[in-house]
Structure 1
Amino acid sequence: MSTTPVRPLDLRLRDALDAAAAGISRAPLATSVDRLIGRYREGGAASAPILGNATDVLAYALYRMPATVAACSNMLRHSAFRLPEIQTVTDLGGGTGAAAWAAHDKWPDARITVLDQVGEALQLGRQLRAAEPGVVDFERWQAGSPVPRADLVTVSYVLSELKQSAQQQLVAAAIGAAGRAIAIIEPGTPSGHQRILTARQALLEAGWQVIAPCPHQADCPVRQPDWCHFSARVERSSVHRQLKGGELGHEDEKFSYVVAVPDGADVPERDGDSSRILRHPVKRKGLVELQLCRPDGTASRAVVTKRQGAAYKEARDVRWGDTWPL
């Protein structure tokens, strides 16, 4: 019996966003996008909610959701294979549910709850998920309120919108609610990486074990002016190009993240010790150059040559963010 293949996640999300924007004037959406882009690039904590009304919410979803979903999917691709079985997910500050889309794509049978303080964002999130299978609940939540327990708690592109004390409180809330794993993701900027480092330290101090992207529990070996970040390719829709004034059919979303599990958790091991590839591999004739974060807590360069046979063939196929066996 033949079955209809499931359409890729990015195309299903594009269809849902296009349907939500159908018949709505582009001018006010473009104005909101310009303002939101300015806020996003500033990278500081917002003095007021970043999404003020339904127009802002739709504009934000149209220009940011594809990139956030791509980044979250990339993060899970590099870490989910080391996580225990995930049956429930709570997304703190999840807005319109970008992380929920990525989590549901990875764990179709999981029950996912998106918590946010902006009612319009939750309403749009429900609308976008209406044609999708699975259970995703969107619930109003205020900082300081109890957080539902879940196997996995995600905090996606939220810390940059908060003052430092509120960031600490949110990470602590995630630690208190997570049973099996925590995933925190931020923009791949120097300030975004710094927020991830602060969250990572809080996880370690709470007795959690980092499983991605770091192959160790030591201090980050990536030093300023460099910073640890990764990249996800995002295919732009026509609406996306219109609102951002872009001509290219794609863009690259840079992100920083940390995924951790309780110390002593029963998680699948890597195939031996592995390093993390920190940059696009540099491929030249007869060799591949890799920038690696190693299990001993150091960062260094490795060169794989054609004379190394199978290792060279593997190096030709690896991507930024993948693991590399020692």
Structure 2
Amino acid sequence: MPHPLTDALGAALADADTGALRRATARLVEVYRSGAPPSTQVLADPVAAMAYAAYRMPATHAALTRALGEAGGLGALAGIRSLLDVGGGTGAALWAVAEAVPELERATVLDGSADALALGRRLAGYGPPVVAAAGWAPVELATRPTLPAADLAVVSYVLGELAEERRADIVDAVADAAGRVLVVEPGTPRGFAAVLAARDRLAAAGWHLVAPCPQPGPCPVAARSGDWCHFTARLERSALHRRLKGGALGHEDEKFSYVLASREPLPHSDARVLRHPGFRKGMVTLELCRSDGSAGPQIVTKRDREAYRRARDVDWGDAWGEPGGPDAAHPR
């Protein structure tokens, strides 16, 4: 019987030294919070790989699941049969895509850490057939790699760990290999900057933006001083997760930025909700990024009963309006 990811982590790490994992987690936290691209391989030994899997894999999986859910709601995951997870570490994207795309037939995870690949392969043995059968191979991301073809390429929590001059090479490499590309980074100004650069590069190459952006022109959020486009995914913390992170809460919110682009036109939303909606009696205020290239508030009142009903049900990160193709109408 296949296991969900949390159970797989518990089973694979059941005999690990908790003290060693806690120390390795503290080192990883220090590296990632520094904001600087690591100068050496972060997951350089089996303990570091296990600490990463326990500490970061659930949050990465949650962010990817949210982004893929938005794509699936637009019908943008149809036809995907193969996955390429570039810089995939222990395989969080593999698990998320396998859950979001039941039709997935084959997957390959590429990473520069042999220890991460070994642990990811072991974890995959607890997963559904397509996860268990995935290929795991080393890749060198310091130069532009030649990648195998796939329907969907995922680059998650990778670009921010590379020097800026290397990021464009990776975006170009996955664009050459796949028909759809999903880039995910931490929901920080630095993470958003990496996603924005990938977004703009793909759009300039003629790719079609699917989510979260409703239009391919300049990002209106980036033009606002001190602002950046990001979303959030809530995940439940396992007992192991709480022990390693020292957290008292049973959940945490993972903030992330992302872009999904396609070589061919696909449905996209009229607009995207950028913040938690504001609720007052008989009125909902939505902060929207719109298909006309603008971003700002839209007030929905009870006078428009259908719009008001929908506005009360949307949340930060949701699409707003009807999905459409490249000529989708502007919000009404």
Q: Same fold (TM over 0.5)?
A: yes
**Which residue does 2:250 correspond to in 1?**
249
Conserved 8 A contact 1:160-1:186: yes
Calculate the TM-score normalised by the size of structure 1.
0.92
Per-residue displacement from partner, 1:129-182 (whole Å, max 9, x unpaired)?
11222232211222344210111111010011110111121111111111x201
Query: For 1:279 and 1:100, how far apart are their aligned partners in 2?
Result: 29
**Which residue does 1:122 correspond to in 2?**
117
Conserved 8 A contact 2:80-2:103: no
Conserved 8 A contact 1:83-1:181: no
Tell me the matched-pair count. Answer: 312
**Which residue does 1:3 correspond to in 2?**
none
CA positional deviation for 1:211: 1.1
**Which residue does 1:91 correspond to in 2?**
85
Conserved 8 A contact 1:187-1:256: yes
What code does the residue aligned with 1:249 have? G
CA positional deviation for 1:108: 2.6
CA positional deviation for 1:266: 4.7
Larger mean Cα displacement after TM superposition, 232-241 or 306-315: 306-315
5 Å-filtered alignment, 1:73-84, equals 73-80=65-72, 81-84=75-78
CA positional deviation for 1:307: 2.8
Larger mean Cα displacement after TM superposition, 99-108 or 133-142: 133-142
Match of 1:67 among 46, 59, 67: 59
**Which residue does 2:156 correspond to in 1?**
156
What code does the residue aligned with 2:138 have? R
Q: Does 1:45 align with 2:37?
A: yes
Report SS of the residue matched to 2:107.
strand
Conserved 8 A contact 1:232-1:253: yes
CA positional deviation for 1:224: 2.6
Larger mean Cα displacement after TM superposition, 111-120 or 276-285: 276-285
- Structure 2 unmatched runs, 5+: 322-330
Conserved 8 A contact 1:289-1:302: yes
Q: Does 1:26 align with 2:18?
A: yes
Report SS of the residue matched to 1:89.
strand
Query: For 2:88 and 2:76, how far apart are their aligned partners in 1?
Result: 23
Q: Does 1:297 align with 2:293?
A: yes
Cα RMSD, aligned residues only: 1.6
Conserved 8 A contact 2:5-2:127: no
Q: Flag the 1:40–1:198 CA change in 2: closer, same or farther, 3 A.
A: same
- Structure 1 unmatched runs, 5+: 1-5
Query: For 1:100 and 1:283, how far apart are their aligned partners in 2?
Result: 37
**Which residue does 1:187 correspond to in 2?**
186
5 Å-filtered alignment, 1:221-232, equals 221-222=220-221, 223-232=224-233
CA positional deviation for 1:127: 1.0
Report SS of the residue matched to 1:241.
helix
Larger mean Cα displacement after TM superposition, 140-149 or 215-224: 140-149
What code does the residue aligned with 1:311 have? A
What code does the residue aligned with 2:108 have? T
Query: For 2:109 and 2:89, how far apart are their aligned partners in 1?
Result: 7
CA positional deviation for 1:274: 1.4
Conserved 8 A contact 2:83-2:107: yes
**Which residue does 2:103 correspond to in 1?**
109
CA positional deviation for 1:305: 1.8
Q: Percent identity?
A: 47
Report SS of the residue matched to 1:95.
coil
Report SS of the residue matched to 1:173.
helix
Query: For 2:154 and 2:284, how far apart are their aligned partners in 1?
Result: 35
Larger mean Cα displacement after TM superposition, 72-81 or 141-150: 141-150
What code does the residue aligned with 1:244 have? K
Report SS of the residue matched to 1:47.
coil
What code does the residue aligned with 1:130 have? G
Report SS of the residue matched to 2:288.
strand
Report SS of the residue matched to 2:297.
strand
**Which residue does 1:203 correspond to in 2?**
202
Query: For 1:304 and 1:30, how far apart are their aligned partners in 2?
Result: 48
Conserved 8 A contact 1:84-1:266: no
5 Å-filtered alignment, 1:122-141, equals 122-133=117-128, 134=130, 135-141=133-139
Query: For 1:319 and 1:231, how far apart are their aligned partners in 2?
Result: 10
Match of 1:287 among 270, 273, 283: 283
Conserved 8 A contact 1:277-1:324: yes
